[in-house]
């Protein structure tokens, strides 16, 4: 456990050796079910790590149970590349390193783009496979070169006015509009619907009430459109 707790983020739990902990640190026990209950405490230089007994007779440490000796102490969980390599054979580690070297050679694109290049056989005489890329990610983690410059603020895209002026000839040719009007209900709510012949432009206006004044107001809005 050293100065940090080392763990594998891909595992559901991480197992520590009680014997190795007792070789390095003082351990105290409390099985009288007082205070925290049936627990043992590992006294590290910076914090007290508490392991609590569960119903399945296993002692488990929860991250919220550490008692720092100083308010500034925090629990750090660190995974090193060497620890990750231990889960793979030397041949697999070499293939993962070859995949990461190729990744650097082509300019560190996104991982998805890198996989797409492999799937399309876009790189000639390439021995790297999809499995090699996955192993490289698990062993080496996200590549720093790929992250640089992608987590900083970028300049916003300039706002461009792309409104198009309608030609007068088009307006003149569509001045005579025949409007078809109807009413409909959706879940009990009343709407005024219209559709124009030739243009087939549709509108739907919510009618809070069905008075003549309300219909006149909504029709005036549609006609202005």
Per-residue pLDDT of 142-187, as tens digits, reads 776 666 655 566 677 777 777 778 888 877 877 788 899 999 999 8
What ranges in 15-167 are assigned the alpha helix state H? 18-24, 81-85, 90-105, 111-119, 130-140, 144-147
CA dihedral for 115, 120, 124, 125, sign (positive or negative): positive
For the chain, the domain total comes to: 3
- Residues in the chain, how many? 225
- Distance CA(144)–CA(79), nearest Å, equals 16
The residues, any chain, with a CB within 8 Å of residue 108's CB and separated by 6 or more, are 143, 145, 146
In a domain, 163, yes or no: no
Q: What is the pLDDT of residue 225?
A: 80
| Of 195 and 32, the one with more pLDDT | 195
Q: What is the pLDDT of residue 150?
A: 59
Q: Average of pLDDT values for 177-198?
A: 91
What is the phi-psi region of residue 187: left when phi exceeds 0, alpha when psi lies from -120 to 50, beta otherwise? Answer: left
- Distance CA(59)–CA(215), nearest Å, equals 73
DSSP H or E run through 220:
helix 212-224
- Out of 27, 57, 78, pick the residue that ends a domain: 78
In a domain, 148, yes or no: no
Q: What is the pLDDT of residues 94-151, one digit of tens each?
A: 999 999 999 888 888 888 888 888 888 888 888 999 999 999 888 888 776 666 655 5
In a domain, 156, yes or no: no
- Out of 78, 103, 133, pick the residue that ends a domain: 78
- Out of 143, 167, 195, pick the residue that ends a domain: 143
Q: Average of pLDDT values for 29-53?
A: 77
119 & 101 share domain: yes
Closest CA to 185 of 197, 193, 174, 194: 193
Q: What is the pLDDT of residue 190?
A: 93
Q: What is the pLDDT of residues 47-79, one digit of tens each?
A: 888 888 877 777 887 765 445 545 455 555 555
| Of 225 and 186, the one with more pLDDT | 186
- Distance CA(204)–CA(188), nearest Å, equals 15
Q: What is the mean pLDDT of the chain?
A: 79
Q: What is the pLDDT of residue 60?
A: 82
Q: Which of 83-97, 134-148, 201-215 has the highest mean pLDDT?
A: 201-215
103 & 63 share domain: no
- Distance CA(9)–CA(86), nearest Å, equals 15
- Give me 69's structure tokens: 């000796």
60 & 96 share domain: no
Instruction: Tell me which of 5-19, 39-53, 191-205 is least confident.
Output: 5-19
Asked if 111 and 37 count as a contact pair (C-beta separation under 8 A), the reply is no
- The residue segments making up the domain with residue 199 are 175-224
66 & 112 share domain: no
In a domain, 37, yes or no: yes
In a domain, 165, yes or no: no
Q: What is the pLDDT of residue 148?
A: 61
Residue 201 has pLDDT above 50, yes or no: yes
In a domain, 131, yes or no: yes
Asked if 193 and 186 count as a contact pair (C-beta separation under 8 A), the reply is no
Look up the pTM and report it.
Answer: 0.36
CA dihedral for 75, 80, 83, 85, sign (positive or negative): positive
In a domain, 152, yes or no: no
Q: What is the pLDDT of residue 191?
A: 94
């Amino acid at each position: 456990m050293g100065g940090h707790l080392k763990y594998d983020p891909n595992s559901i739990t991480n197992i520590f050796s009680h014997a190795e902990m007792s070789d390095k640190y003082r351990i105290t026990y409390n099985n009288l079910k007082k205070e925290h209950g049936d627990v043992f405490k590992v006294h590290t230089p910076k914090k007290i790590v508490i392991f609590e007994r569960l119903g399945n007779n296993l002692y488990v440490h929860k991250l919220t149970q550490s008692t720092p000796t100083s308010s500034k102490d925090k629990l750090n969980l660190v995974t090193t590349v060497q620890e990750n390599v231990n889960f793979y054979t030397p041949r697999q580690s070499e293939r993962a390193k070859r995949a990461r070297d190729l990744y650097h050679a082509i300019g560190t694109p996104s991982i998805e783009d890198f996989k797409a290049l492999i799937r399309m056989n876009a790189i000639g005489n390439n021995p790297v496979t999809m499995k090699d890329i996955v192993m490289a990610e698990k062993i080496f983690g996200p590549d720093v070169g790929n992250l640089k410059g992608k987590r900083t603020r970028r300049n916003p895209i300039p706002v461009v006015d792309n409104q198009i002026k309608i030609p007068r000839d088009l307006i003149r040719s569509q001045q005579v509009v025949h409007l078809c009007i109807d009413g409909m209900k959706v879940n009990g709510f009343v709407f005024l619907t219209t559709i124009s012949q030739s243009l087939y432009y549709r509108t739907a206006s919510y009618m809070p009430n069905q008075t003549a004044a309300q219909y006149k107001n909504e029709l005036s809005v549609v006609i202005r459109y």
